[in-house]
């Protein structure tokens, strides 16, 4: 088993950003990030290296988020409608915290996998290859799906005249 404190230091920010993007709640993201690393430390010997360590950690975090939603009787993050984006325009809007919260709410109206792909790319800052690895798909699939998600978000923003 490798030095886990080094893993924590290297990937903490990535996992936290990813979970903050999913939850839109800093405190919950912090709690889930801590639990992610706790579970990863216990399961480190089972990590087979078929994907990057950061991707594996984000998968653990995503599963914890889904469990949280089910146990809190929230709508499952896998449910909902569709709609979304233009990269530069959205990046500017996210800089404003109130608009960022609104964009998170719009993201939660989208169906999967688009919501998660957009979140992984924009908030988790994962590459298309890494996103493809998370879903067990190709880099091209991740890129196409991201651009579809972006277009859905952009339509929603235009409908709301933002």
Residue 39 domain flag: yes
Low-confidence ranges of the chain (pLDDT < 70): 1-2, 72-100, 161-162
Cα 92–22–37 angle (5° rounding)?
120
Q: Whole-model pTM?
A: 0.48
Distance CA 54, CA 25 (A): 21
Classify residue 120: in a domain, yes or no: yes
Output phi, psi for 108, to 5 deg.
Answer: -75, -5
- Domain ranges, residue 155: 87-159
The structural domain count of the chain equals: 2
Residue 132 belongs to domain with CATH number: 1.10.10.10
Q: State how far the Cα of 83 lies from the Cα of 150, in Å rounded to an integer.
A: 8
Q: What is the pLDDT of residue 150?
A: 85
Predicted confidence at residue 73, as pLDDT, reads 55
Whether 126 is in a domain gets the answer yes
Q: Average pLDDT over the chain, rounded to whole? A: 76
In a domain, 41, yes or no: yes
pLDDT score at 151: 86
Q: Within a domain: residue 77?
A: no
Q: Give the domain CATH number at 46.
A: 1.10.1740.10
């Amino acid at each position: 088993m490798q030095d886990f404190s080094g893993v924590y230091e290297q990937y903490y920010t990535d996992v936290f950003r990813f979970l903050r993007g999913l939850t839109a709640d800093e405190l919950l993201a912090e709690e889930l990030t801590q639990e992610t690393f706790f579970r990863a430390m216990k399961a480190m010997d089972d990590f087979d290296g078929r994907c990057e360590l950061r991707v594996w950690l984000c998968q653990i975090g995503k599963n914890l988020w889904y469990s949280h939603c089910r146990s809190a009787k929230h709508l499952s993050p896998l449910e909902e409608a569709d709609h979304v984006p233009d990269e530069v325009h959205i990046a500017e809007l996210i800089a404003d915290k109130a608009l960022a919260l609104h964009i998170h709410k719009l993201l939660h109206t989208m169906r999967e996998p688009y919501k998660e792909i957009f979140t992984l790319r924009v908030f988790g800052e994962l590459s298309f290859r890494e996103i493809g690895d998370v879903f067990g798909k190709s880099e091209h699939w991740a890129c196409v799906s991201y651009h579809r998600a972006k277009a859905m978000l952009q339509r929603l923003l235009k409908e709301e005249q933002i």
